[in-house]
Structures are given as C-alpha cells and as structure tokens.
A and B are shown apart, each in its own frame.
Chain A
Amino acid sequence: MKPTVNFTSPRFYVPALFLGALALLPVYAMLAHQPFYVTLFSRIMIFALAALGLNFILGYGGLVSFGHALYLGVGAYAVGILSFHGITNGWLHLVAALVVGILLAALIGVVVLRTSGMTFIMITLAFAQMGYFFVVSLKSYGGDDGLTIDNRSTFGLFDLASNTVLYYVILAFLAAVFFLFGSLVESRFGMVLRGVKSNERRMLALGFPTFRYKLVGYIISAQVCVIAGFLLANLTKFASPSYMVWQVSGDLIVMAVLGGMGTLFGPVVGAVVYLVVEEFLSSLTPGWFPKVEEVLNKHWLALMGIFVIAMVLGFRKGFYGYLVERELKKEAGRAQP
C-alpha cells in the first residue's frame, strides 16, 4: 500500500506551499506595510475558488462551460440586493445565493446538458449573457452602474468588515473546496463524472444514466462560483454587471487551463499565476526609456497574451498538470512489469 501522505509528491507539496504562503501573506503584508497585498490576494483567491468550481465540470466532466461568470453574479447580487433592503446577515446572503444558484443551475443544466461540444459552449455563453442583460435591466438595483454595498455581511459572532478577517474566510473557503473536491473526484460520483469525460458512450453502455450525474456535477460546480461571487461582493462592497461579462467566463477557463485542467489544484495555481502576472504587467514601470514604458503601459494586455500563449504551448497540461503528469508517468513506469 502507498502511504497516505507522500511528501515528495507535487500533489502534496504544491498545494501545501501555496496554501501555506497564502496563510502567511497577511503577516508579510503587515510587516512590509503593504496592506494592498491583502486585498489583491483576496481577489486572487476568489478567482481561484471560481476556477476550482469551473474545473470540476470542465476538467473532470469534460464540459466546457463558457458561462460560469453568471454564477459569480448570482452570489454577488444576492449580497447586493439583500443589503440594499437592509438585510446584512451573511448567513441569509449565503442561503439566498445558494438557493437561487441551485435552482438556476438546475434549470439551465437541464437545457444545456442535452447538448455537447461547440453547442454546449455557445448555449452556456448565451445563458450567461441573458443573466448579464437581466441585471443591467434592474434599474432599481443600479442597472449598468452596479450596486454599492454599504457594509459587508455580518455573521453574528463575527463580521467581514476587517480585510484580514475576510481574507481568511476566503482562504478557508478555498481550502475547504479543495479538500472537498479531493474526496469528490475519488468517490463513485467522481468516477462517473470522469468516465463521462473519457468515454460517455461506454458509460451509457455500462448502464450509467449519465445525464443525472452530469446535472448534479454542473450544479455543484456552479455553487462554488456562487460562493465566489458572494465573497467578491463582500471584498469590493459592490455588485456589478461587470462580474458577469463573458470575458470573466473566459478568464476562468484560461486559469483552469493554465494551471492544469482536470487536476485538483491546477486552477488555483493558474489563477494565482494569471492574476499576479496581470497585476505585474499592468503596473510595469521598468524605468527604461519613457517611450518604451508608455507603449508597455498602454499595451500590457498584448504582453499578457504573449505570456499565456507561451505558457500554454510550453506546458500543454498546465503548470501543475505538468508536475502531476510527470509523477503519474513515473508511477505507471513502475506498475508495468
């Protein structure tokens, strides 16, 4: 039997290093007098969480949802709209967000999961766009301009007013979902989902009514994004239609791919790398010739594009996916007589 924890495996040390570093970051930010890092990494972890959620259906189920930003919006607007009406209780925010999220995901899932391939991508996008235009049309809740949230959610014993508390709540959600998915993908349910990704025709022939498993997988995946949206609204004290634009859905896919689709921790690595590089490039002041600097500042998105292309070509399975695959190959080599 293999030992339960293998310290030399990237599947142990990469998550341990990342989560450990994230846990210590507020301390560093305090010592370095850079409180900005706490909010920056709060945002990064929220997207890491959303990418983790998307990856459950994308990486393990093989379903390329191009509309998961919709569920970020559900979470954010649950906080925004309830706060607007004077309800600041975080438990209520979460419950409302998840109830709406589950109903919406079930409804949308029943439709989109009847399609596959390119149709699936387009129809998930279409639903997300419908959600986007719906919140834009909510004039009493700010419409286009979004909805300012006066105070962060309160949870009775504690509230999220402090950036540091909010930071650790986000980290706790991230870690919890990571461990939850860790057992989920190894369970019977997870095996069915992975089987569907690998060969759905065979899954049907074996006797699995695959539709209902895909639907539940889609709903679970969406709820992680709902929670991410709840946290995002708390971080920014703002619920905005901009959380639901299709580019956000695309960013989440890029994060999952960059870190390693269908790996447990890849989306977190992808989100951290993607957003840190974005932050770095968008505020680049190398102090070279002023002209060069001006061009760089204006066109940093082009640099970002080059970076993503280079990384995807260099690490086809993603950064973390590359390490995991290398380890699996070694293991497979040992298994073969």
Chain B
Amino acid sequence: MNALLSIEKLVKRFGGLTATDRVDFTVAPGEVHAIIGPNGAGKTTLISQLAGELHPDEGSIHFDGRDISRLGVPARSLLGLGRSYQISQIFRDFSALQNVMLAVQAHTGHSFSFFKPALKEAALIAPAEAALRQVGLANRMHVPAAAMAHGEHRQLELAMTLATNPKLLLLDEPMAGMSQAESEEMVQLLKGLKGKYGVVLVEHDMDAVFALADRVSVLVYGRVVATGTPEEIRNNPEVREAYLGDQEESV
C-alpha cells in the first residue's frame, strides 16, 4: 500500500506506563483517519511522536516514503507534517496576520535575512492572507492575537498549520473548548479540506468524528483495539462497550 504515513509497532513508555503500545497505523493520501479513545488513552502522546516532540522507544514512522523516526520537530514540519495543538499555541504579541506570516516564513527559505522588513514582504503576506480567509478570519487579520476570542484562536491555530503547506495534518482536538455553533463551523471548514490533505484527527466530539473520518481507530490504554470505517466502529460491540457505551451512559 502506498501510504502517506505509516507507523509500525510504535512503543513509548514513561517509566512503568506504556503510553503507546505496539501501535500500527496508516494514513492514505487525502484520507482522514480519526483516533478516538477515552481520556488518558495516549492520543496526544501518539500525535507528539508523529510531530517529533517525543521520540518513540521502539518501532518506526514512515512519512512520504521516508523513515522520519529520528528527525526533530522542525525537520518534520519542513517535510510536510503540520501540527495543530489541543491548547492553542499562538504568538500572543503578534496580530493574526503576523502569526500566519511567521508560519509562511518558516517554509520559504532560511531566515538569516537581517535588513529587509519581513512584515512588508509580499511573498509572506499573500499566502498568510489566503490562509486566514480560508479559516474565516478575513476581517480579523490585524487584531492582536491576545485580543481574540477562544474560538478565533482555534481558527488561527488551523490557519498557521495550513500556511506551512503540509501534506499531512495532525489535528489534536481542533474543536477543544468551542461552543456548539463554533464546532459546527469548524466541521464545515474541515470538510472543505477533505481530500486535499492527509489528516490524523484526534477528537472527542463523536458527531464531528463520524462526519469527517474515512477511517477510525480506537485507542485504549495505548493500544489500537479496533480500526475501521465509522460505520464499522459504531457497530463494533467491543468498542461500544469499551468506549462509546461509556459515553452514552455519561450523557
């Protein structure tokens, strides 16, 4: 299979705790592969190993035909892995546009340029504006990020990730902390991205997952207990018991 991303037998231990336990996982080009699982199942740990913030103890990660298991975070980003964070990681002192311009700058050559004013570089402004328009922040470009609302931070987070021209998006709970209306908007936005990028989507919002995902993997205690289409996962008795059932009860 010609996967964009393929993980084999990935293991990550923290002391006695096995946070990632022999995980196999693939994403085809253009596919949205969602990861669901209860709190503490190791979803963010897995994403962090894909992005390079954590290094696995065993196993391998291949991206776009390359073994990237040993690469650092910036190198992976430059290859086309775009990560968005569960807790928005933005530059609070900068305007929305400057935030995204910095993302563009990272992927347009080195930054050992000392005299030309970066904020006037058309090569940075145009793609940044496009990314902001794409996520629906067209009329908030010059607002300082610190002054924006939580939902807007989530949109900005996505705009920055998109501006790095990724091949694969690692979306860690893009709807975290959003209102119902905002979540629905975000789902629409992500639907619009479908097919253009490979996506690893970690999300708690089941409606969103079933609306967006081509495939779903269920992670419990660091292990993938099931992988399948949303329909298969919904009807898998084991999953219903381990995870979905729990949630229905709590609702």
Contacts and interface: CB of A to CB of B under 8 A. Distances in A.
A183 B120 CA distance: 12
Contacts of B91: 194-195, 198-199, 202
A195 B139 CA distance: 23
Contacts of A118: none
B118 A336 contact: no
Contact of B77 (A183, A207, A216): A207
Nearest to A184: B114
Contact of B89 (A186, A199, A336): A199
B162 to A, nearest CB: 12
A186 B119 contact: yes
A183 B51 contact: no
Contacts of B74: 204, 206-210
A216 B75 CA distance: 20
Nearest to B93: A198
Interface residues of A, number: 29
Interface string A11-29: 0000000000000000000
Interface string A313-337: 0000000000000000000100111
A205 B111 contact: no
Interface in B27-60: 51, 53
B44 to A, nearest CB: 14
B105 interface: yes
B73 interface: yes
Contact of B94 (A192, A198, A206, A336): A198
A332 B97 CA distance: 13
A36 to B, nearest CB: 39
B194 interface: no
A87 interface: no
Nearest to B105: A188
B85 to A, nearest CB: 8
Nearest to B73: A204
A198 B143 contact: no
Interface of B: 51, 53, 72-75, 77-78, 83, 85, 89-95, 98, 101-103, 105-107, 111-119, 121, 139, 142-144, 147, 160, 164
B107 A207 contact: yes
B106 A183 contact: no
Contact of A202 (B89, B101, B112, B143): B89
A337 B139 contact: yes
A303 to B, nearest CB: 35
B111 A191 contact: yes
B111 A335 contact: no
Contacts of A101: none
A189 B111 contact: yes
Interface in A186-237: 186-192, 194-195, 198-199, 201-210, 213, 216
A183 B115 contact: yes
Contacts of B115: 183-184, 187
A130 to B, nearest CB: 30
6 contacts: A186-B118, A189-B112, A198-B91, A202-B89, A204-B72, A205-B85
B73 to A, nearest CB: 4
Contact of A336 (B53, B90, B116, B143): B143
A58 to B, nearest CB: 15
Contacts of A204: 53, 72-74, 77
Interface in A135-188: 183-184, 186-188
A183 B106 CA distance: 20
Contacts of A208: 74, 106, 111
Interface of A: 183-184, 186-192, 194-195, 198-199, 201-210, 213, 216, 332, 335-337
Contacts of B53: 201, 204-205
A142 to B, nearest CB: 38
A201 B118 contact: no
A337 B118 CA distance: 25
Nearest to B101: A191
B147 A206 contact: no
Contacts of A191: 98, 101-102, 105, 111, 118-119
Contacts of A332: 143-144, 147
Contact of B113 (A189, A194, A199): A189
Given A198-B93, A202-B90, A207-B107, A183 B114 contact: yes
B113 A206 contact: no
A198 B95 CA distance: 12
Contacts of A184: 114-115
Given A206-B164, A207-B106, A332-B143, A189 B114 contact: yes
Contacts of B83: 205
Contacts of A337: 139
A206 B102 contact: yes
Nearest to A206: B106
Which 5 residue pairs are nearest across A and B when measured between Cβ atoms? A207-B77, A207-B106, A202-B89, A188-B111, A206-B106
Contacts of B102: 191-192, 195, 203, 206
B112 A216 contact: yes
A203 B160 CA distance: 11
B143 A335 contact: yes
A206 B144 contact: no
